[in-house]
């Protein structure tokens, strides 16, 4: 099953889950309304028989109660959704995580950061912020609504007890959750369950306050009766709210267990090393701390973790993860059943020692590669399912980046200078004009950093532009809204300095904007056959970008059209306006998941018409795929 099939299945599963939870809420509302109605009748607050009913129920009052209950559940869910709308950052901070992208404090923190960066570049997704949880247990999680606002969280126990290969397995497992839509599903579960739980919390508060109030009242029978009504209502809400939460958690656990098997299998496929994920799981089994988390809100996000984060009273019934032994045997059938004994070293909580060396040594620059048409087809075939070869390509890209550029990408101020530098021309007088426009608008520190980095940036190979930008994304996410708006305005100024915005300039700008601000989750609803005009705009832009001769560009478009389900498209006289391209891509991003592969194949045919794909075309292809929410891994050179 490929990425697009997983996306389609995730969409179907989301629909089924919504249906199940909807039925659970309807049942809860019905039971609550009837219970409260009967309690009010029992205490004589409403007549047992009304003019509207022959069966002793006041249906108008039941309707009012049902409306109030639905409003409570809905408002509780919306409140939690609003909290989580900030993306994975909200989850990481609620669990007490500390961002380490900008200031890793130990070699172990640098190592896990390097692993995450390799994985992100290999899979074609933005480098996520990485949060460290000060927990001795071995655990990790991915959280967020989209790949652009995802974060990775990992415990101190994991970074000190797991080897680099085992860390790769754990991080690959979490990236699988990002690829396959699990994060969005998990976030919806948290929100709905919070709404149901709110009924129980309100009931508990009402029960406590009414009990205390009844103890303070005089012996007046009316007052005691009133207190009794509230105690009964509070007790009913408490029981029903927590019963609803119980059954909601059963649904959550059942969904989560199946997704864990899928993520384990994807991790083995990504790393091509079954011992990476199996080794991490074995260490959890042999470690006294297991995968338990001590964070106060750990139970709220129990279905998001790599391993069980909390102890459960009902065992397998409420377990959000399959049994450890079963997960290990799925990836290592011949496992002998033994667990290694591991102990957290004392230095794990000692003073952090800052290391000047990254996990991967920086090697000399090599020439930018070129690619065959088959390389693009291979990359499309592995969207959302990168292979070990893509991981090696990502590691090679990181090694080719000069150390000053890598270091600058991890500092918010210098990261801004990097982005400006990526859009600077290498030709005079265009370069002088850009600098003349930019300098008066820059913070002096950013201007100085840009001056120091210009030399390295001018020697940067074209295929390293996108990896460098991706490395800088976590640092750029720390900018406030005003700072990021200023950055975008300055980038537009640079791109328009020559009165023409190139497709690559536009692509880098859109990737930056989407990765930092994060797109709203969009459900696919269109078929490719309905998108002829939008496809013509996109493919015309690619044909003109990859072929200077209009006749050759028209031939490239005609060849690409053969892979599409409509009549041959007409090539635009020149590259379409970027405003039109924006609108086209916005519509195309709403294609149904299984409709996107044909469009991507047509894009690859278009840019490969001349028989070779250069580095700039390869990165352009990946940039456009990113705007279509298709995380394409790097193309592999011959």
Q: State the catalytic residues.
A: 174
Beta strand extents in 144-219 (DSSP E only): 151-155
Give the residue from 428, 359, 369, 455 showing the smallest Cα distance to 399.
Answer: 359
Q: How far is the C-alpha of 634 from the C-alpha of 206, rounded, in Å? A: 58
Spatial contact of 497 and 437, defined as CB atoms under 8 Å apart: yes
- Between the two ends of the chain, the Cα-to-Cα distance in Å is 27
Q: Kindly state the tokens that stand for 600.
A: 């991507």
State residue 459 phi and psi, 5-degree precision.
-100, 5
Spatial contact of 96 and 154, defined as CB atoms under 8 Å apart: no
State residue 151 phi and psi, 5-degree precision.
-130, 155
Q: Kindly state the tokens that stand for 585.
A: 């891509």
Q: How far is the C-alpha of 456 from the C-alpha of 365, rounded, in Å? A: 11
Q: Kindly state the tokens that stand for 546.
A: 């990859």
Bridge-based pairing state of the strands 98-99 and 130-133: antiparallel
Radius of gyration of the chain (CA): 28
Q: How far is the C-alpha of 568 from the C-alpha of 535, rounded, in Å? A: 11
**DSSP string spanning 517-567?**
H-PPP----B-GGG-HHHHHHHHHHHHHHH-SSHHHHHHHHHHHHTTSSSS
Q: How far is the C-alpha of 184 from the C-alpha of 5, rounded, in Å? A: 17
Q: How far is the C-alpha of 244 from the C-alpha of 232, rounded, in Å? A: 18
Question: 7, exposed or middle or buried, with CB in 10 Å at 0-12, 13-18, 19+?
Answer: buried
Give the three-state DSSP class for 128.
coil
Spatial contact of 620 and 607, defined as CB atoms under 8 Å apart: yes
Sign of the Cα pseudo-torsion (280, 286, 291, 293, in order): negative
* Residue found under tokens 């967020």: 144
The alpha carbon of 345 is separated from its chain's Cα centroid by a whole number of angstroms, namely 32
Spatial contact of 488 and 554, defined as CB atoms under 8 Å apart: no
């Amino acid at each position: 099953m490929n990425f697009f099939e997983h996306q389609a299945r995730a969409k179907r599963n989301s629909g089924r889950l919504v249906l199940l939870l909807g039925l659970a809420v309807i049942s809860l509302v019905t039971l609550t309304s009837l219970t409260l109605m009967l309690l009010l009748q029992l205490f004589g607050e409403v007549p047992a028989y009304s003019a509207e009913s022959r069966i002793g129920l006041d249906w108008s009052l039941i309707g009012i109660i049902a409306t109030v209950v639905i409003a409570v559940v809905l408002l509780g869910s919306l409140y939690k959704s609003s909290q989580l709308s900030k993306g994975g950052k909200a989850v990481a901070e609620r669990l007490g995580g500390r961002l380490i992208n900008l200031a890793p404090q130990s070699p172990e923190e640098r190592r896990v950061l390097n692993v995450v960066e390799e994985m992100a570049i290999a899979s074609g997704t933005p480098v996520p912020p990485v949060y460290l949880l000060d927990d001795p247990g071995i655990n990790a999680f991915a959280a967020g609504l989209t790949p652009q606002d995802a974060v990775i969280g990992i415990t101190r126990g994991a970074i000190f007890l797991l080897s680099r290969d085992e860390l790769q397995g754990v991080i690959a497992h979490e990236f699988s959750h990002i690829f396959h839509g699990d994060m969005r599903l998990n976030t919806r579960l948290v929100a709905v369950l919070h709404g149901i739980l709110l009924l129980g919390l309100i009931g508990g508060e009402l029960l406590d306050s009414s009990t205390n109030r009844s103890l303070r009242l005089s012996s007046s029978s009316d007052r005691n009766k009133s207190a009794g009504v509230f105690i009964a209502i509070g007790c009913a809400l408490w029981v029903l709210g927590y019963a609803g939460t119980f059954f909601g958690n059963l649904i959550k656990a059942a969904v989560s267990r199946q997704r864990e098997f899928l993520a384990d299998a994807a991790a083995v496929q990504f790393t091509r090393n079954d011992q990476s994920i199996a080794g991490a799981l074995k260490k959890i089994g042999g470690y006294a701390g297991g995968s338990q988390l001590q964070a106060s809100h750990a139970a709220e996000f129990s279905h998001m973790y790599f391993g069980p984060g909390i102890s459960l009273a009902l065992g397998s019934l409420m377990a959000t993860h399959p049994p450890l032994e079963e997960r290990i045997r799925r990836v290592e059938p011949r496992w002998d059943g033994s667990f290694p004994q591991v102990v957290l070293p004392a230095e794990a909580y000692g003073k952090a020692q800052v290391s000047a060396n990254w996990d991967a040594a920086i090697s000399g620059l090599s020439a930018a590669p070129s690619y065959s048409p088959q390389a693009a087809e291979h990359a499309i075939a592995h969207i959302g399912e990168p292979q070990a070869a893509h991981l090696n390509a990502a590691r090679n890209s990181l090694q080719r980046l000069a150390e000053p550029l890598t270091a600058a990408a991890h500092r918010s101020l210098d990261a801004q200078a990097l982005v400006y530098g990526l859009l600077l021309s290498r030709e005079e007088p265009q370069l002088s004009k850009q600098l003349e426009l930019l300098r008066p608008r820059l913070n002096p520190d950013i201007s100085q950093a840009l001056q120091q980095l210009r030399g390295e940036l001018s020697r940067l190979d074209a295929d390293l532009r996108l990896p460098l930008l991706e490395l800088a994304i976590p640092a750029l996410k720390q900018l406030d809204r005003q700072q990021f708006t200023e950055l975008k305005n300055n980038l537009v100024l640079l791109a328009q300095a020559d009165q023409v915005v190139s497709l690559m300039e536009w692509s880098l700008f859109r990737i930056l904007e989407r990765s930092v601000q994060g797109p709203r989750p969009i459900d696919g609803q269109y078929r490719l056959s309905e998108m002829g005009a939008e496809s013509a705009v996109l493919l015309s832009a690619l044909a003109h970008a990859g072929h200077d001769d209009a006749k050759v560009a028209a031939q490239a478009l005609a060849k690409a059209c053969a892979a599409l389900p409509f009549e041959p498209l007409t090539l635009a006289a020149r590259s379409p306006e970027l405003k039109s391209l924006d609108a086209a891509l916005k519509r195309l991003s709403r294609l149904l998941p299984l409709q996107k592969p044909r469009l991507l194949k047509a894009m690859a045919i278009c840019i490969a018409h001349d028989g070779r794909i250069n580095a700039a075309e390869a990165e352009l292809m990946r940039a456009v795929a990113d705007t279509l929410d298709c995380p394409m891994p790097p193309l592999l050179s011959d």
